Structure formats: structure tokens, C-alpha cells
A and B are shown apart, each in its own frame.
Chain A
């Protein structure tokens, strides 16, 4: 070490709030998808859902590591310190709910990472890799939206119900995040176009009403979560917390 004299490398400033927000989104959704293991409707979906979960976990690890120790951040923060949107913490529900959640979130994530990949920020390298993974996730969700929407009466009913039930959680995706260099309104416009297109092809209507009424979710980015989230964290963190300081 040469002390505090001239530094030649540029210090990259990590916008911590933004890194945590994106990292927590990926971490929490990965966890929810991991809950499907051994429960999927068909073996191919065991593989696909685990694959998506692994991609997201990889993204989460990179993002959390920008901020600090990935395990400290994942296992030792309380519920109020998590910055993920409420959409990703929603319970899996039936397969249609899981697909609707994937559809809404992956379309958002693809657009978001597309912007970040082109940005001059610390997120650019991660986003350049992740945008390819997320394009696959979006494709998977869209194909299932088509199959379920245009499959049987039962699958159409379930898909419509799931899309409606999760709609209120989508507005939060476009709220500004401190340090996240994205054009929120443009993201929302692109997202709405994407979702509308898929739902039309699936013979499904866009859920009714603007995203913010009658009651819309919000607050995940400020650490305000829904009730199922605390239980999810209790399960996720209990072993790590039971052995303070241990290595695994």
C-alpha cells in the first residue's frame, strides 16, 4: 500500500439503495421460485423454474456483493430493511399466479436491464449479462401466458384471475429509485406495450383500471412489505441466524 497519495483508478460509486433494490427483487423472486422444486406440474417446468431461480440468484449475489457481504445482507437484515417490490414477494399461488408474476416482472426486468446495460454506471456489466437471461425468462412467461390464456376454459379462468390479482402490484415497478439511472415513464410505456401485446395474443384483456386504484401496492422500496414476506424471511434466515458467525 502506498498510503493516501495519488490514486490512478477511478472510484466507482455504488448507489447502494439502487443495488439493494434490484438485488432484493432478484433474491426474493428466486426464493419464491425455489419453493416450486418438487411441486411443478410437469418435469420440464421443474427444470425451467429452477433455471430461472438460479439466474435470479446469480444476479442477486452480484448486486448484493456491490453493497456488502451477500450473506449478511440476505440473512441478517430484518424485513423493514429489504428494498424489493411487493410483486416479487407474493406467494406462488397456483401455476397461473406464478406465471403472471413472472410475466409482469420479467418484462420489467428486461427493459430495465436493457437501459442499464447501455448506461455508464456500475450496473452496466451485470445488466449486459442479465438482460440475456431475463429475455429467456420473459419468453418462458409469455409462452405460458399464451398456453394458459388460449388453452382450456379452466386455464383461461385461472390466468385471468392471476393477472387481475397481481395487477395492483405492478405500479410500484416504475417508482423512482434513488441512484437508479432509468427513465421510469419510458420504462412503464414499453412495459405496458409488451404486456398488452401478449395478453391480446392470449385472448386476455388487460386488467381493468389504472394501476393505482382502487388500492395499489407501494412501499416495498421503503421497506414496507406484505404479510407473507415476514414468514418467508423467517424460513429463509432461521438456520443462518441460529449459528451466529458460522461459515457454511
Chain B
């Protein structure tokens, strides 16, 4: 795609729009300097910012266990994972910046509660097994959502997702392996693993967003090839993957309605508590206040450090840290 907006007056918007639509239809990538509809740009900024914020806020529930990890090997794995999440946040903020926004601006919106992050990170990590459940279920759901984003129509986002998905798959296998070790460990460890899966299963299903008939942005995002599959399709795919994995883990999923449907060739599953989902999105989940407060505190307490780096850079002609 090569069309760019003319520098002078009266852009031929209809013509530009046609070039854009044709590029999307031909599965070409839209790049930062290409013309794009304002609404496409705004949707991408919203989605990429929310994605970046989720990586940053998502560090908290896992970092909660770094200082208590029960073996040095697990501690190293967890530290590396949380570090990767910070790195993913950095990629995604950079990708969002190609759309003419800035990391500072996006962080300000997060801190002001004007941009969201994934609802899942508003749940607490109460035991060590939660670290495994997050790896297996939460990262598993994220991968199911994100693999199609590797083919997203916006080039910088798609390329960021390729890198991120590789690392996420690794984290997911580590989470599964952590749960497997607990499941095959002492009775207390097995119970800890089961309890964690019981608490994380439904929130993980909510990560795919509202059902298709209630999803505000879905149709347009699919038309623009930002999204490739509907929320319900991806959720079903995730359930189908998880059920046999839970069996091989020796753990159960907390859904009495879960059973194989021969006719559909999929697992049927019980109803999701959408009231809970909306409450969490509205800020009324168990950890919403805590997560945002910690993020704001880190930012505010770090202000003098960032100011020092900027002042030093100005004095010494160095790029700001």
C-alpha cells in the first residue's frame, strides 16, 4: 500500500478510502505512513493501548509471587516471565506510537481510568498454583486471541504479535508444567492446583469479550481485518483445547454443563456470568482499585527519576532513557 495523503488541501477522501479498502481486501498490510480512516486509526489505538496496558498491569498478579516462589528454578522462570511482559508492553507501546500517539499519553489515560486493560488482571493470585493457572489458562486464552492478530491488517501490530506469541507460548507451557507438577505432587499441592483452576476458569473465558450479539466493535474490526474471528468462535476454540489438557493434568474444570457435543463437534459449556464481567469492567472487580493504585504509585514515585534522566540528557545531549 503506497497511497499517502496529499500535503495540500482537499484530499480525495473517497479515492483514498477506496485504495485502503482494496488493500485490506487483498490482505495487504497497512503501514504507518499509509492513509487510513480516522475510525480505523482510533480503533487500533484503543485496542493496542489496551493490549499494552494489559501487559503492564498483568505483571502485578504474577510479581505478587516472585518473592515467595518455592524453588529457585521456579523463581527464575517467573522473573523471566514478568520481565517478558514488560518487554511486550514496550513493543506494543512502540507499535501504538506509529499511529501518532505517545507512550506517556497512553499511560496517562490508563492512570486516569480512561483506557482499559484486560479484566482478568483484576482477580487476585491467592496461592502459588495461581501462577500456574495464569500461565496455562490466561496465557492460553491470550494466545488463542493473539495468534490471529499476527495476520492483523495493521503491519506494526501484526509484527509485534509474532514476537509476543512466541514468548507467550513458552510461558503457557511453563504454566501447564507447573500445574502438572502440583497435580502429581502431594495431596495438598493437588488441591492447591484444583482450587486455582476452579477460580481462574470462568474469568479466562471472559477474556474473549462479550458474546457476539453484544460486542460493540466486532463487526467493524472484522471488516477491517483487525479481528479475524468472533469472540464466541475463539472462546469455543479455547474450550475445545482446554478440556483434554485438563484431563491430562488430572484436574477438573468447574462447569457441570461441560460435555462433548457430537453433532457440533465441539464441547458445550455452561453460561458465563456476564453480570460479573460487566462489574469487573466497570471497576468493581476484586483488585481493580489495587492494580490501578499500584500502577499510579510506581509512576508517581518514579517521576523524579524520569525528570533526572531528562535533565541529564538535556545537559549531555543524550537520548532520554
Decide whether A and B are members of one complex: yes
B312 touches A151 (CB 8 A): yes
- In angstroms, how far is the closest chain A Cβ from the Cβ of B214? 33
CB of B238 within 8 Å of the partner chain: no
Contacting residues of chain A (20-35) with chain B, CB-CB under 8 angstroms: 27, 31, 34-35
Instruction: Choose one: B68, B186, B294; the contact of A235 (CB below 8 Å).
Output: B68
A151 touches B307 (CB 8 A): yes
Evaluate whether A54 and B71 lie within 8 angstroms (CB atoms) in the complex, with A38-B294, A43-B89 already known.
no
B71 touches A37 (CB 8 A): no
CB of A42 within 8 Å of the partner chain: yes
- Chain A contact residues (Cβ within 8 angstroms of B): what range? 35 or more
A158 touches B304 (CB 8 A): yes
CB of A200 within 8 Å of the partner chain: no
- Judged by DSSP, the binding face of B is helix
Evaluate whether A147 and B309 lie within 8 angstroms (CB atoms) in the complex, with A47-B87, A75-B70, A246-B186 already known.
yes
- Judged by DSSP, the binding face of A is helix
CB of A178 within 8 Å of the partner chain: no
The winner among B294, B297, B309 for most chain A CB atoms within 10 A is B309
Evaluate whether A247 and B72 lie within 8 angstroms (CB atoms) in the complex, with A40-B302, A148-B308, A155-B307 already known.
no
The winner among A43, A53, A58 for most chain B CB atoms within 10 A is A43
Docked complex Cα distance between A88 and B56 (Å): 27
B68 touches A236 (CB 8 A): yes
A94 touches B79 (CB 8 A): no
CB of B188 within 8 Å of the partner chain: yes
Docked complex Cα distance between A150 and B315 (Å): 9
Docked complex Cα distance between A93 and B75 (Å): 22
- In angstroms, how far is the closest chain B Cβ from the Cβ of A33? 9
A54 touches B79 (CB 8 A): yes
CB of B311 within 8 Å of the partner chain: yes
CB of A46 within 8 Å of the partner chain: yes
B74 touches A147 (CB 8 A): no
The winner among B70, B299, B311 for most chain A CB atoms within 10 A is B70
Q: Which of A130-138, A204-212, A237-245 contacts B (4 or more CB under 8 A)?
A: A237-245
A155 touches B188 (CB 8 A): no
The winner among A41, A45, A148 for most chain B CB atoms within 10 A is A41
Which B residues are in CB contact (< 8 Å) with A247? 181, 185
CB of A9 within 8 Å of the partner chain: no
Which A residues are in CB contact (< 8 Å) with B189? 243, 246
- In angstroms, how far is the closest chain B Cβ from the Cβ of A97? 12
- In angstroms, how far is the closest chain B Cβ from the Cβ of A238? 7
Contacting residues of chain B (65-92) with chain A, CB-CB under 8 angstroms: 66-76, 79-80, 82-83, 86-87, 89-90
A243 touches B308 (CB 8 A): no
CB of A61 within 8 Å of the partner chain: yes
Q: Supply 20 further A-B pairs (C-beta < 8 A) apart from A57-B72, A60-B72, A147-B321.
A: A34-B66, A37-B63, A37-B82, A41-B298, A41-B303, A43-B89, A47-B87, A54-B79, A54-B83, A57-B75, A57-B76, A58-B76, A70-B72, A147-B309, A147-B312, A152-B307, A152-B311, A155-B307, A238-B68, A246-B189
CB within 8 Å of A: which residues of B? Answer: 56, 59-60, 63, 66-76, 79-80, 82-83, 86-87, 89-90, 93, 128, 181-182, 185-186, 188-189, 294, 297-299, 301-312, 315-316, 321
**Can you spell out 30 A-B residue pairs with CB atoms less than 8 angstroms apart?**
A34-B66, A34-B79, A38-B60, A39-B294, A39-B301, A41-B301, A41-B306, A42-B309, A46-B83, A46-B86, A47-B90, A51-B83, A54-B76, A54-B79, A64-B72, A74-B72, A94-B301, A95-B305, A147-B308, A147-B312, A148-B308, A151-B312, A155-B305, A239-B69, A240-B71, A246-B70, A246-B188, A247-B185, A248-B70, A248-B128
CB within 8 Å of B: which residues of A? Answer: 27, 31, 34-35, 37-47, 50-51, 53-54, 57-58, 60-61, 64, 70-71, 74-75, 94-95, 146-148, 150-152, 154-155, 158, 235-236, 238-240, 243, 245-248
